[in-house]
């Protein structure tokens, strides 16, 4: 009966297992949700979804399931940055298709319409009766885009009172993962955690010694255990916007993987290069900023620093005061990066740009030098190396003095 | 089967009630997450009270082991007793201390067990309890004894999301995320706690409260329990509603110490209030 819902949920990458599905059926058998769609919704959610970050996805799939319309499930990107979308499309489209778009009025026109629709959707959305939907079967249908026409927004089903519950999508902000299936990256990141458990020297296990001695009827029985640093602490910085748009997807995959792997993980966003402040919430990047000195005061030296960025920019943005791309910074970015490296001895820079292109971009070479070569490509192998580097117990890195270029 | 429908002192939303009832009916653990101060721990207390069941609480610390919930073998006092020549040393059962789960298994009526803040413990902790929670039985190796629950207890587990919980564990639970209450629910909650509260004062206070929650950059947003504390203070001081209104526009609400628990937050708030006064 509900098998279709089950597979829809799985298709939307909500980790639902057969056990949980059977539990739901069992609950229905016990008349726990009798004759009310609302109750069924609550019951299904509590039986099938075990993480509030999936609530939003669940709401969407459920709404769609109830309406019996085949779409949306794969449309999990709710706010699509136009620049990124365009690049993605350019990458995906064949020349022939591009020609067709031109005949439809060109990119600008289409994007403009799309933007309008998105805005419209955002406004009406608060009323809780619309969302983006896709109708196409083209490869970019998943991104809410179709050269033969954009179909966004659809009528709410007015006759169902309960629909508003999931249509309101109150859990949207909790959705930290726009992309799942990050198994590969997880494996690499796990290495860091594993190291923390093994590599350290042994210490006396007092509890076990007492226990074994007692069990041994008073004969001393010394027990040793590896010293445990149970919590690997990580500060992660993610580059967003600008030239990183191509890599948004890759970084977010890494981001969603990184979230579950450590006990202490603090993540921040920046644009192009580290300056005096960063932000935690992309939607509030202009009013909720955290300064780097604050970060350096708050998080101890034992945190490990992971920076994810393509490091592709003009060298001015690194070395010059006021070189920042969106604002005028009082001190050069290089100074700030150096301060961070002085504070956090364990640091790596992960670069999604293919390694063979690095030498052709001046800024990548500069940053790599500043990181004392600790820049790794964002491949499984690169991550592996990077994590191994982070795991190493190291003294202060050999710092490359910031080059004075100021005039 | 009795159903949980909230109590005189606890307002439960529809979805929460359903999750609790589903967990009780199907005898599976209920995992509850949510912002601090939204009443996760209180839920177990209230469920036990509402259904008239005994409650067993197990508060988890970072050093807690799954074994401690079942039983502990106190080898050290046995060693001490053996050196003192105490006769009870011969029976190992004298040194087995029952944990909350064992206690609840032995209870004459179906019980409610609270496993509070399960995410505080080691990552392996939930996995170590899988069999015990599934089968509601465990084996005491020291005394070669199998302990099985006479009545399967309702188990309520809370988590503050400090760690991810293992999938195998999650699959066995019902899950509920307690949202921060909206203004309507909040009114009901306050009403339950302070039935005689003056309408005006409540309205003004709630406005101030939700305003403070909106201030960006607060380290710890005030939660329901803090609101209740604050109202208690306001009532005790007999603050008239008008002061609250006047204050909320330009300055700091009176007795704000009950709402803001963090020095930096208070500082931030004072600064904002100061700026508001200057511009206004």
| Inter-residue long-range contacts of A62-70, CB under 8 Å, 24+ positions, other chains counted | A62/A5, A62/A166, A63/A131, A63/A163, A63/A166, A63/A167, A64/A8, A65/A4, A65/A5, A65/A8, A66/A37, A66/A157, A66/A160, A66/A163, A66/A166, A67/A157, A67/A163, A69/A133, A69/A154
How are beta strands A202-204 and A375-377 bridged, if at all? Answer: unpaired
Q: Name the helix (H) or strand (E) containing A184.
A: helix A183-198
Both tokens of B65, joined, read 């082991």
**Comparison of pLDDT for A181 and B248, the residue scoring more:** B248
Helices and strands, number each (H, E), in chain A: 16, 9
The answer for B 65-94 residues in CB contact with A (under 8 A) is 75-76, 78-79, 82-83
**A216 and chain B in contact, CB less than 8 A:** no
Place of tokens 């939907």: A133
Tell me if B173 and A17 make a contact (CB, 8 A cut-off). Answer: no
Set of chain A residues whose Cβ sits within 8 Å of the Cβ of B22: 27, 32, 43, 46-47
Nearest-CA residue of chain A relative to B30?
A46
- Reduce the DSSP state of residue A110 to 3 states and report it: helix
What DSSP string describes A55-71?
HHHHHHHHHHHHHT---
| Angstrom distance (rounded) from CA B17 to CA B45 | 14
What's the pLDDT at A254? Answer: 64
B194 shares contact with chain A (CB less than 8 Å): no
Residue A26 forms contact with B (CB below 8 Å)? yes
Which DSSP category does B33 fall into? E
By CB neighbour count within 10 A (0-12 exposed, 13-18 middle, 19+ buried), where does A290 fall? middle
Cβ <8 Å between A42 and B174: no
pLDDT of residue A255: 60
- Name residue, tokens 């208690």: B232
Q: Model confidence at B29, in pLDDT bands (50, 70, 90)?
A: very high
Q: What's the CA gap between A71 and A131, in Å, rounded? A: 11
Write the pLDDT tens digit of every residue in B215-242: 777 777 888 888 888 888 887 777 777 7
Residues in B closer than 8 angstroms to A27, CB to CB, are 22, 25-26
> Which of A88-102, A255-269, B58-72, B232-246 has the largest mean confidence?
B58-72
Q: Which pLDDT tens digit goes with each residue over B87-113?
A: 888 888 888 999 999 999 988 888 999
What does each C-alpha distance from B183 to A176, B30, B203, B211 come to in angstroms?
26, 26, 10, 12
Sheet holding B30-34, edge to edge: B55-59, B112-116, B154-159, B30-34, B174-178
Rounded to 5 degrees, φ, ψ at B132 are: -60, -40
**How confident is the model at residue A43, as a pLDDT?**
87
* ipTM of the modeled complex: 0.73
Chain-chain contact of A210 with B163 (C-beta, under 8 angstroms): no
Structure tokens at A253: 């995959």
CA-based nearest residue in chain B for residue A33: B18
What chain A residue is nearest to B176 in terms of C-alpha separation?
A46
Place of tokens 């159903």: B3
A116: which residues sit within 8 A by CB, 6+ positions away? Answer: none
Q: Where are the alpha helices (DSSP H) in chain B?
A: 14-26, 40-51, 66-70, 75-84, 100-106, 125-128, 130-135, 167-171, 183-193, 199-214, 224-237, 241-250, 263-279
Q: Are B202 and B244 in contact (CB under 8 A)?
A: no
Report in angstroms the alpha-carbon separations of A401 from A376, B21, B225: 21, 64, 52
Provide CB contacts within 8 A for B272, sequence distance 6+: B215
Work out the minimum CA distance from A63 to partner chain B, whole angstroms.
17
Closest CA to A24 of B25, B273, B47, B44: B25
Instruction: Provide, rounded to the nearest whole percent, the portion of chain B with pLDDT above 70.
Output: 94
Global pTM?
0.54
Q: For residue A220, what is the nearest residue in chain B, using CA coordinates?
A: B79
- What residues contact A144, with CB distance under 8 A and at least 6 apart? A75, A77, A80, A114, A132, A133, A134, A150, A152
What CA–CA distance (Å, rounded) separates B16 from A392?
A: 47
Residue B28 sits at the chain A interface (C-beta within 8 Å): yes
A43, A55, A230: residue with CB nearest B177: A55
Determine the pLDDT at residue A79. 46
* Residues A50, B176: C-beta atoms closer than 8 Å: no
pLDDT in tens, A223-256: 777 655 545 678 888 887 666 655 666 666 666 6
Q: Mean pLDDT highest for which of A67-81, A247-261, A283-297, B119-133?
A: B119-133
**Distance (Å) of CA B162 to CA A245, A298, B158:** 30, 18, 11
pLDDT at A12 over 60: yes
C-alpha A223/C-alpha A225 separation (Å) is 7
Whether B120 and chain A come into contact, CB under 8 Å, resolves to no
CA distance A12 to B279: 49
The answer to whether residues A26 and B26 touch, using CB atoms and an 8 Å cutoff, is yes
Q: Are B241 and B198 in contact (CB under 8 A)?
A: yes
Q: Do B78 and A214 touch (CB under 8 A)?
A: yes
Specify the DSSP element, H or E, that contains A279: strand A277-279
Q: Tell me which chain B residues have a C-beta less than 8 angstroms from the C-beta of A24.
A: none
Q: What is the pLDDT of residue B111?
A: 92
Above 70 in pLDDT, residue B277?
Answer: no
Q: How far is A261 from chain B (nearest CA, A)?
A: 8
CA nearest B175 in A: which residue? A46
Confidence of residue A401 (pLDDT cuts 50, 70, 90): very low
Q: What is the pLDDT of residue A91?
A: 57
In A61-216 the beta strands, taken as DSSP E runs, fall at: 202-204
Q: Work out the percent of chain A whose per-residue pLDDT is above 90.
A: 0
Residue B107: phi and psi, rounded to 5, are -60, 145
CA distances from B131 to A352, B68, B136, B148, B225 (A): 43, 15, 7, 12, 35
Comparing CA positions, the residue from A177, A87, A68, A76 lying closest to residue A133 is: A76
The pLDDT-based confidence of A78 (bands split at 50, 70, 90) is very low
**CA atoms within 13 A of residue A68's CA, in its CB half-sphere:** 1
The answer, yes or no, to whether residue B255 has pLDDT greater than 60, is yes
* Highest mean pLDDT out of A122-136, A159-173, A351-365, B104-118: B104-118
Q: Cα–Cα distance between B170 and A48 in angstroms, integer?
A: 10
Q: Which two tokens stand for residue A194?
A: 């594993």
- Give the 3-state secondary structure of residue A291: strand
Cβ-proximal residues to A183 (8 Å cutoff; 6+ apart), any chain? none
∠ Cα B176 A169 A33 (to 5°): 50
Instruction: Classify each residue of B166-194 as buried b or exposed e, where b means 16 or more C-beta atoms within 10 Å of its C-beta.
Output: eeebbbbbbbbbbbebeeeebeebbeebb
Closest-CA distance of chain B to residue A97, Å: 44
Task: Identify the pLDDT of residue A268.
Answer: 84
Q: A16, A62, A47: which is closest to B176 by C-alpha?
A: A47
Quote the CA–CA distance of A236 and A260 in Å, as a whole number: 13
CB contact under 8 A, B33 and A214: no
Cβ–Cβ < 8 Å for B182, B188: no
pLDDT attached to residue A312: 82
Distances (CA, A) of A247 to A7, A64, A92, B129: 30, 30, 15, 41
* 8 Å CB contact of B18 and A43: yes
Check residue B156 and give its pLDDT: 94
Distance CA A268, CA A270 (A): 7
Only one residue has tokens 């009443």, namely B39
Q: A148 pLDDT exceeds 60?
A: no
Residue A403 contacts B where some CB pair is shorter than 8 Å? no
- When computed from its CA atoms, the radius of gyration of chain A, rounded to whole angstroms, is 26
Angle formed at CA B42 by CA B41 and CA B44, multiple of 5 degrees: 75
């Amino acid at each position: 009966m509900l098998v279709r819902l089950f597979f829809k949920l799985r298709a939307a990458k909500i980790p639902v297992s057969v056990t949980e599905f059977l539990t739901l059926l069992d609950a229905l058998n016990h008349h726990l949700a009798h004759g009310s769609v609302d109750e069924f919704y609550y019951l299904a959610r509590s039986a099938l979804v075990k993480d509030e970050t999936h609530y939003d996805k669940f709401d969407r799939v459920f709404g769609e399931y109830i309406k019996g319309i085949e779409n949306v499930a794969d449309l999990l990107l709710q706010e699509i940055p136009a620049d990124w979308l365009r690049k993605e499309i350019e990458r995906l489209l064949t020349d022939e298709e591009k020609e067709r778009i031109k005949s439809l009025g060109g990119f600008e026109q289409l994007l403009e319409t799309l933007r309008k629709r998105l805005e419209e959707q955002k406004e009406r959305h608060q009323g809780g009766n619309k969302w983006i939907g896709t109708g196409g079967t083209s490869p970019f249908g998943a991104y809410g885009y179709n050269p033969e026409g954009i179909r966004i927004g659809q009528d709410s089903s007015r006759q169902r009172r309960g629909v508003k519950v999931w249509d309101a999508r109150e859990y949207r902000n909790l959705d930290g993962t726009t992309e799942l299936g990050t198994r590969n990256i997880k494996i690499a990141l796990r290495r860091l955690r594993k190291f923390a458990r093994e590599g350290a020297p042994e210490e006396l296990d007092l509890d076990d010694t007492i226990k074994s001695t007692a069990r041994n009827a008073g004969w001393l029985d010394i027990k040793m255990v590896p010293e445990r640093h149970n919590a690997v602490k990580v500060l992660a910085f993610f580059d967003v916007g600008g030239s990183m748009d191509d890599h948004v997807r890759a970084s977010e995959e890494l981001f969603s993987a990184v979230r579950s792997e450590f006990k202490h993980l603090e993540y921040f966003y920046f644009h192009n290069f580290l300056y005096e402040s960063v932000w935690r919430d992309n939607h509030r990047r202009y009013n909720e900023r955290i300064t780097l000195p604050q970060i350096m005061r708050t998080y101890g030296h034992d945190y490990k620093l992971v920076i994810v960025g393509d490091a592709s920019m003009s060298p001015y943005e690194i070395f010059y005061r006021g070189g920042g791309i969106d604002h005028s910074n009082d001190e050069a970015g290089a100074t700030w990066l150096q301060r961070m490296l002085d504070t956090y001895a364990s640091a790596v820079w992960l670069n999604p740009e293919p390694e063979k292109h690095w030498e052709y971009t001046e800024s990548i070479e500069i940053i790599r030098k500043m990181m004392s070569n600790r820049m790794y490509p964002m491949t499984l192998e690169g991550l592996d190396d990077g994590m191994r580097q982070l795991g190493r117990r190291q003294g202060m890195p050999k710092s490359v003095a910031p080059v004075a270029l100021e005039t | 089967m009795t159903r949980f429908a909230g109590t005189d002192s606890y307002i439960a939303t529809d979805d929460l009630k359903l999750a609790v009832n589903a967990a009780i009916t199907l005898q599976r653990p209920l995992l509850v997450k949510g912002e601090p101060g939204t009443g996760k721990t209180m839920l177990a207390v209230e469920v036990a009270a509402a259904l008239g069941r005994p409650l067993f609480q197990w508060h988890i610390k970072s050093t807690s082991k799954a074994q401690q919930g079942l039983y502990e073998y106190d080898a050290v006092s046995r060693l001490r007793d053996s050196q003192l020549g105490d006769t009870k040393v011969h029976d190992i059962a004298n040194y087995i201390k029952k944990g909350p789960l064992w206690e609840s298994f032995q209870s004459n009526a179906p019980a409610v067990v609270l496993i509070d803040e399960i995410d505080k413990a080691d990552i392996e902790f939930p996995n170590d309890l899988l069999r015990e929670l599934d089968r509601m039985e465990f084996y005491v190796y020291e005394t070669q004894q199998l302990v099985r629950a006479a009545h399967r207890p309702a188990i309520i587990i809370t988590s503050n999301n400090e760690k991810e919980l293992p999938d195998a564990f999650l699959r066995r639970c019902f899950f509920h995320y307690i949202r921060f209450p909206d203004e309507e629910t909040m009114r009901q909650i306050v009403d339950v706690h302070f039935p005689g509260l003056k309408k005006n004062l409540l309205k003004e206070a709630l406005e101030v409260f939700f305003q403070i929650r909106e201030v960006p950059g607060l380290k710890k947003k005030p939660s329901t329990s803090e609101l209740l504390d604050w109202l208690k203070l306001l009532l005790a001081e007999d603050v008239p509603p008008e002061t609250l209104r006047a204050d909320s526009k330009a300055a700091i609400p009176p007795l704000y110490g009950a709402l803001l628990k963090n020095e930096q937050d208070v500082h931030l708030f004072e600064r904002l209030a100061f700026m508001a006064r200057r511009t206004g």
